[in-house]
């Protein structure tokens, strides 16, 4: 899983896109997580895996 730096003034922030599945319907998803100094901070986005966002490695 590759990460990317978040644009802005805080150089300690990184985001990663991860594979996920919906427990209810089984849909394949992606989740973008934001990390600060390698500690998960928040979920940035959730979407369908077929709509994987540009700039994030699969």
Gap between the Cα atoms of 42 and 14, Å rounded: 11
What sign does the dihedral 46-50-55-56 (CA atoms) show?
A: positive
Is residue 57 in a domain? no
Identify whether 58 is part of a domain: no
**What's the pLDDT tens digit per position in 5-51?**
555 556 788 999 999 999 999 999 999 999 998 899 999 999 999 99
In a domain, 56, yes or no: no
pLDDT, residue 15, reads 92
pTM: predicted TM-score of the whole model, two decimal places = 0.79
Which residues span the domain enclosing 44? 3-51
Instruction: Evaluate whether residue 23 is within a structural domain.
Output: yes
């Amino acid at each position: 899983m590759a990460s990317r730096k978040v644009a802005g003034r805080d150089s300690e922030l990184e985001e990663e896109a991860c594979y996920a599945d919906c427990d209810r319907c089984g849909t394949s998803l992606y989740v973008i997580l934001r990390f600060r100094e390698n500690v998960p901070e928040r979920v940035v986005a959730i979407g369908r895996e077929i709509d994987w966002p540009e700039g994030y490695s699969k």
